[in-house]
Structure 1
């Protein structure tokens, strides 16, 4: 919300009062339509991070024979970078990055050159960031660009279009934060990428300031350890607006009821399976399986054991969740405010990640 209660009263209530006084009409009861604000709080989405691509520590490539002039210039600028040349080097690097597609389309550079230019571009931005670290306020344009560019990309097990359509459609900013490692300082900065094949499946605007900020404070990703993020205020139409984009279905849902001692999990509603989603678009899973069996049987040089394994994997895929699946144990703290003890051992899910120990289920919880 980009206004305060005082602004609302000054602009809306005051105007109504002025008109009523002018025409000697009784003061009305003002009722605002606030359904979205009231319902948003009842649900949240929990998503697990599956991988991270770090852009803050690029490897500087060695120049090959006869490199293009733009690459030579980037290398020379990086090697001669100093405080009195920060603006010049920054603008040259940004200009080179913006011209990449044009240069490639005109055969001025090769695909390998494109990759090298991007690496030098990132290396230059990192060098500039270190150089101006003690005087960031003196370079507002550069700092804004650095904060939007030098961020890690956290790949998460969800679909923006299915679970957060308002983020994509109307640039709605949702509160997002880690629910793990809250006793550690989040020293990384990142954006969130979903697992769809659509380039718009990204969250790159987060709460902070009047216009939001381009990155989110996150913890370093640890391979093999669960790292779950919570996306809040999703109860206002997000799930019902989801449109099966890329055939990602409904997420698992956990219903939670507040109690005097904390809370209790009352229900677990499993999300769509691959078979169910295929049925929505008129594909019959049984027919698909029959076709696959015939193709496997027709592969005469395929050993029987491998053939059976292929068929078993295919069946498991049809019966499985539309999101990534895998075992991820998640420790669950005591219920609610500490009262009530931990949840009993159960098979639960964190957006498709099954856990057979004490766990907190995920997806949309209400």
Structure 2
């Protein structure tokens, strides 16, 4: 006979993003009347002893321990009553939900939890024991499904910064010219006097107005393209000076609070958010991000991270900071010819299965590392798994790489036979194309 379990649709709701997993509108589970109906259906067919498990689940990443306490109290009562009705359940599966403190705040924020793992376990065991003892029913075997908490720590993503997208260019020389437009003269004078001015709000307002007026004037052909470029250059110089002065200001006006973000760079990283950090895009999960190069130096450059896909959503712009969440993160300045790496941590829960082929970037290269105290380095590399090749990705998208390579070779052979290409050059281009098909889908450094 089969072993049968039933899942209860709990009236208790969880806390956090997945609180809809519980309550009357929950997708899964049976109501109390449906559970009783199912149990009696089994009984009428001589299979009452097959019903051995009660399961419930109130959501993933539970942020508040009170939700756990309430669910255990309700679940324990359902188990006890079924036992008294003659259904000798042996197991209670308390589902998943054990959260991870992604942001370190130990709070009820969506990316945190206000309890420890020890407290979580104690509340489940004690809560179930207390109800069972009061109801005089046997203690069940407890089962949990805390997949996120078990697996999140096992994996991280290490990506190289391959470029920097600046918020604005270096600009052009802004020397005074004869007969220049008054807007250019005014904003230059503002830039020259900024250090002697105390009203930062007024400077910000004046500079913003000059920039807006300059754009309108350019559209009406009142100023030239070069004059517009000079005004933009001076505007950004003023904003950078304001940002420095605001660091020591007692109060920052609301309009100017976005200056650090507006002036921040975007570091271009060699990965795909949709493949390797899908949670950040799909559910706004905040992951710990840490620079892994020059760790003995304080990072001072505010930036956000963008990937190499051609999708504007391919970015990370929510980071953990001392004051909560921030849309920028401090990194080091990028030095020429330096390999600068960034780590995304706690990615082991869902990224491997949620990652998709968006923009045709496949799986990353993987390195399986084990901690081992007897090793001279305290760890060893067990295995290196190559990431997706171009031909792997093309095959998934129902292209035939072999046929594509043959088509290119045939085309090159035609050019060679007509004398339009030397045989050696034809071989070179054929090999180049075939090597591209076998190559990695991500950027790779060349010698």
Question: Normalised by the shorter chain, which TM-score bucket?
Answer: 0.7 to 0.9
Displacement of 1:144 after TM fit?
Answer: 2.9
CA contact 1:253–1:271 (8 Å) conserved in 2: yes
CA distance, structure 2, for counterparts of residue 34 and residue 106 of structure 1 = 63
Task: Please say if residues 36 and 236 of structure 1, whose CA atoms lie closer than 8 Å, have aligned partners that are also in contact.
Answer: yes
CA contact (8 A) 1:53 1:154 kept: yes
Query: Aligned with 1:326: secondary structure?
Result: coil
Rounded Cα–Cα distance in structure 2 between residues aligned with 1:42 and 1:66: 66
Change (3 A) 1:202 1:110: farther
2:157 paired residue number:
45
* C-alpha contact (below 8 Å) 2:280/2:286 kept by paired residues: yes
1:280 corresponding residue in structure 2? 396
Query: What are the residue-to-residue correspondences of 1:1-366 with 2, within 5 Å?
Result: 8-9=64-65, 13=69, 27-28=127-128, 34-55=146-167, 58-62=170-174, 74-81=187-194, 82-94=196-208, 118-135=232-249, 137-139=250-252, 141=254, 144-209=257-322, 211-261=324-374, 262-299=378-415, 300-326=419-445
Using the TM superposition, give the Cα deviation of residue 232 of structure 1 relative to its aligned residue in structure 2, in angstroms: 0.3
**Greater alpha carbon shift after TM alignment, 101-110 vs 236-245:** 101-110
Q: Which runs of 5+ in 2 are unaligned?
A: 1-14, 18-60, 82-125, 130-141
Number of aligned residues: 324
Q: Say if 1:10 and 1:93 are closer, same or farther in 2 by CA, change over 3 A.
A: farther
Structure 1 residues 253, 16: CA separation in 2 closer, same or farther (over 3 Å shift)?
A: closer
Partner of 1:364: none
2:364–2:388 Cα contact (<8 Å) kept: yes
Structure 1 window deviating more from structure 2 (234-243 vs 85-94): it is 85-94
Q: For residue 235 of structure 1, give the secondary structure of its aligned residue in structure 2.
A: coil
The superposition leaves residues 267-290 of structure 1 with CA deviations (integer Å, 9 ceiling, x where unpaired) of 111111000100111111122222
Q: Distance in 2 between matches of 1:139 and 1:87?
A: 9
Change beyond 3 A, Cα 1:170–1:209? farther
| 1:91 Cα deviation from its structure 2 partner | 3.5
Which residue number corresponds to residue 358 of structure 1? none
CA distance in structure 1 between the aligned counterparts of 2:299 and 2:286, rounded to whole angstroms:
20
> Is the 8 Å Cα contact of residues 172 and 229 (structure 2) preserved in structure 1?
no
Q: Do the aligned partners of residues 173 and 298 (structure 1) sit closer, same or farther apart at CA in structure 2, a change above 3 Å counting? A: same
RMSD: 4.2
* Deviation at residue 40 of structure 1 after TM alignment: 1.0
Q: SS state of the match for residue 250, structure 1?
A: coil
Report SS of the residue matched to 1:229. Answer: strand
CA distance in 2, matches of 1:141, 1:211: 18
100-109 or 79-88: which moved more?
100-109
How far the C-alpha of 1:248 sits from its partner, in A, is 0.2
Describe the SS at the equivalent of 1:173: coil
Contact 2:183–2:214 (8 Å) recurs in 1: no
| 8 Å CA contact 1:258, 1:264 repeated in 2 | yes
Q: Structure 1: which 5+ runs fail to align?
A: 329-366
Structure 1 16/85 Cα, relative in aligned 2: closer, same or farther at 3 Å? same
Scaled by the length of structure 2, what TM-score is found?
0.60
TM value normalised by structure 1: 0.72
Question: Is the radius of gyration larger for structure 1 or structure 2?
Answer: 2
Distance in 1 (alpha carbons) for counterparts of 2:324 and 2:401:
46
CA gap 1:62/1:232 in 2 versus in 1, 3 angstroms: same
Shift of 1:205: 1.6
1:85 and 1:263 mapped to 2: Cα distance?
Answer: 58
Shift of 1:304: 3.9
Q: Name whichever of 270-279 and 291-300 sits farther off.
A: 291-300
Preserved contact between residue 191 and residue 238 of structure 2 (Cα < 8 Å):
yes
